[in-house]
Structure 1
Amino acid sequence: MGCDGGTIPKRHELVKGPKKVEKVDKNAELAAKWKYCALSQEKLKRPIVACELGRLYNKDAIIEYLLDKSAERPNTEVVTHIRGIKDVKELNLTDNSAWEGERRNIKGDCYEDMNLAMFICPVVGLEMNGKHKFFYLQTCGCVFSERAVKEVKTEICHKCGDPFKEEDLVVLNGAKEDVEKLQKAMEERRTKAKTAKKSKKSKDTKVSKKQDSAVAESCDVPPKDTSETTSTSETGDDGSESAPGPSTSGESSKTLKAPVGLFVGSKRSIQTMRDKSETYKSLFTSHSSAKRTKDQISNWVTHTPYHF
């Protein structure tokens, strides 16, 4: 069998076999993890943050997601564990002096090294391109390679000098096993924080109840002595009327004398008191200066438009 040009088709051109599984390019996969944001798929630029599972994000993308979680985004399942800005840590990265940027090969007429990265390890000098395992510290956010952590064993950060523990090391863009371990540690950490918060609330409520009970006990009034108060409240030592009221244990024998005429319902008027001055008596409506004669009192007159 031949075609118009006399060509003879081969068997693999006529018979369709099983589709081959497409393999992902390793360089493209590493570039997607280490050079692009896991949420917005944009190129990583400072400030760069990392979550508790070791994924890299642009801080602007995380803030936009937290402000509006209802917006449609392609990779929302990657950030479901991020509840707030406290769940991510800003990274303290070391720039690579050999990095010239992406504009150096605009024409495409020169060799481009795919393994060249923007950041390196400050101790060993390895490039953060995905071929080497890197960690970041949850305490200060500094980033180091696994080789630096193993060769230089210390409990102080190599870059800023802050102390840290082995539990503070988080793998960046780790394998599935590393992500599972980090997820378990994250869940345990959050459960401990919840229990500590609940216990603190219970302690605060107990302390507040104790304080309230102590204040109530301190404000309690001792019982009254009816036998003494009744005799002293009716009449004083000199026969004058005294103000009725509760008497304490230390002052049970003493009576509180009140000036006659100051209380409502008293029979004597203030104007009849000899010990009071005229200026004091003029303050009350019972004084003669406050009273007006019939001539001084004016009648109420209503003016209407029909009056004239």
Structure 2
Amino acid sequence: MGCDGGTIPKRHELVKGPKKVEKVDKNAELAAKWKYCALSQEKLRRPIVACELGRLYNKDAVIEYLLDKSAERPNVEIAAHIRGIKDVKELNLTDNPAWEGDRRNAKGDCYEDMHRAMFICPVVGLEMNGKHKFCYLQTCGCVFSERALREVKTEICHKCGDPFRDEDIVVLNGSKEEQEQLQKTMEERRAKAKAGKKSKKNKGLETVSKPVESEASSESTSTPVNGGGSSSGDSAPGPSGSSKTVKPVAAVGSKRSIQNMEGKSEAYKSIFTTHSSAKRSKDQISNWVTHTPYHF
């Protein structure tokens, strides 16, 4: 059937080859990574945070995810490694002065640069649009281009001045291989932190148990002293055979008068009401006086 009327079919019309793989538009892919939240797929807006794998999120979207981790939420597997708000770092970004945002021309009668980014590198001025590799520091959250960190080598942040190490540099929206490396680094860091917590906990238990053992040993080796009526001449033989006199300890609740203390001076004793100078005779005590005006 068909091929009548003098039609000449071509090969691609008769033979069906394999389907072509649909290619993702690079511009759309870059815009999805650098202009939209990886969790909520909404436009990035301050405050913006990044995880240890270098993905960008809106902070409110991360908080909502931590409050509700139900499977019904979309893109839950992307943030599965985020256990708490401490696993993300708020980024210190530098605004792009050329970014117009909502003020740009919406009529469509002029050229619109799709690669114009909201933020730039504060050192070399490159736009953070995905064409250039960007990194952030886990110590302070400042964001720089990889070119700036490579050309201007320093151990102090260019923006805030905080010190950092090479291990604190995290690549934003890196390649698959870079994200796998960041995944291994994150797992190693968390394992070290967990081991450090266990060692601290064990040290704390040891320090608590040692004073208890020392108190028990001191009580067992000490000589019992009776506080009732034991004579002051009782003695206990020491390790060298010499006897040491043990002074009797006053019973708990017994009161000692300050006036009977031998080591106190007479001027010190006269301060208290128990001193003889503070006591008055009956002749010195005045009669009861009322201040009521009706009493005569």
Question: What band does the TM-score fall into relative to the shorter chain?
Answer: 0.7 to 0.9
Alignment of 1:228-247 (within 5 A): none
Which residues of 2 match residues 249-288 of structure 1 at below 5 A?
249-251=246-248
Could you tell me whether the CA contact under 8 Å between 2:34 and 2:129 is conserved in 1?
yes
Instruction: Report what 2:73 is aligned to.
Output: 73
Read off the aligned partner of 1:40 and give its amino acid letter.
S
CA contact (8 A) 2:139 2:168 kept: yes
Deviates further, 17-26 or 51-60: 17-26
AA partner of residue 138 (structure 2): Q
Q: Does 1:24 align with 2:24?
A: yes
Report deviation, 1:8: 5.3
Alignment check: 8 A CA contact 2:3 2:9 kept: no
Aligned to 2:224: 223
Whole-angstrom CA distance in 1 between matches of 2:105 and 2:148:
32
Indicate the residue corresponding to 2:43 in structure 1. Answer: 43
Q: Aligned residue pairs: how many?
A: 236
Distance 1:81 1:212, change over 3 A: same
Could you report, residue by residue, the CA deviation over 1:50-75 in whole angstroms, capped at 9, with x for unpaired residues? 00000000000000000111252221
Change (3 A) 1:255 1:72: closer
Aligned to 1:129: 129
Q: Report the counterpart of residue 186 of structure 1 in structure 2.
A: 186
* Cα offsets for 1:157-199 (capped at 9, x unmatched): 0100111111110000000111111111111111110111000
Report the 3-state secondary structure (helix = DSSP H, G, I; strand = E; otherwise coil) of the residue aligned with 1:195: helix
2:136 is paired with a residue of what secondary structure? strand
Cα RMSD of the aligned pairs, angstroms, is 2.9
- Give distance in 2, aligned partners of 1:40 and 1:9: 53
Amino acid at match of 1:181: Q
Q: Whole-Å Cα distance in 2 between the matches of residues 85 and 19 of structure 1?
A: 45
Residue 16 of structure 1, CA deviation: 4.0
Structure 1 residue matching 2:180: 3-state secondary structure:
helix
CA distance in 1, matches of 2:46, 2:136: 16
What residue in structure 1 maps to residue 160 of structure 2? Answer: 160
* Mapped partners of 1:90, 1:101: distance in 2: 22
- Which residue does the alignment assign to 2:55? 55
- Match of 1:105, SS state, is coil
Q: Cα distance, 1:17 vs. partner? A: 3.4
How many angstroms does 1:219 deviate by? Answer: 5.2
**What pairs with 1:82-97 in structure 2 (closer than 5 Å)?**
82-97=82-97
Structure-2 separation of matches of 1:9 and 1:38? 52
Q: In structure 2, what is the Cα distance between the partners aligned to 1:52 and 1:2?
A: 63
CA distance in 1, matches of 2:201, 2:123: 45
Kept in 1, the 8 Å contact 2:120–2:127? The answer is yes
| Residue 272 (structure 1) aligns with | none
**In structure 2, C-alpha distance between the alignment counterparts of 1:127 and 1:223, rounded to whole Å:** 82
Deviation at 1:218, TM superposition (A): 5.1
Whether 2:100 is the aligned partner of 1:100: answer yes
Cα distance change, pair 7–111 in 1 and its aligned pair in 2 (3 A): farther
Q: 1:264 corresponds to which residue?
A: none
| CA–CA separation in structure 2 for the residues paired with 1:217 and 1:148 | 64
Quote the Cα distance in structure 2 between the aligned partners of 1:78 and 1:60: 16
Q: Given residue 186 of structure 1, which amino acid in structure 2 is its aligned partner?
A: M
Quote how far apart the aligned CAs of 1:212 are.
1.9
Return the offset for 1:210: 1.1
CA distance in 2, matches of 1:200, 1:9: 84
The reply to whether residue 151 of structure 1 matches residue 151 of structure 2 is yes
Aligned residue identity for 2:189: R
Cα shift at 1:15: 5.2
| Equivalent in the alignment of 2:275 | none
Q: Greater Rg, structure 1 or structure 2?
A: 1
How far 1:112 moved relative to its partner? 1.3
Aligned to 2:104, what secondary structure does the other structure show? helix
Report the identity percentage.
74
Offset at residue 31 of structure 1 (A): 0.4
Q: CA deviation at 1:216?
A: 3.6
Q: Which 10-residue stretch deviates more, 38-47 or 216-225? A: 216-225
Cα distance in 2, alignment partners of residues 102 and 132 from structure 1: 24
Name stretches of at least 5 consecutive residues in structure 2 with no aligned partner. 231-244, 255-296
In structure 1, runs of 5+ residues without a counterpart are 234-247, 259-308
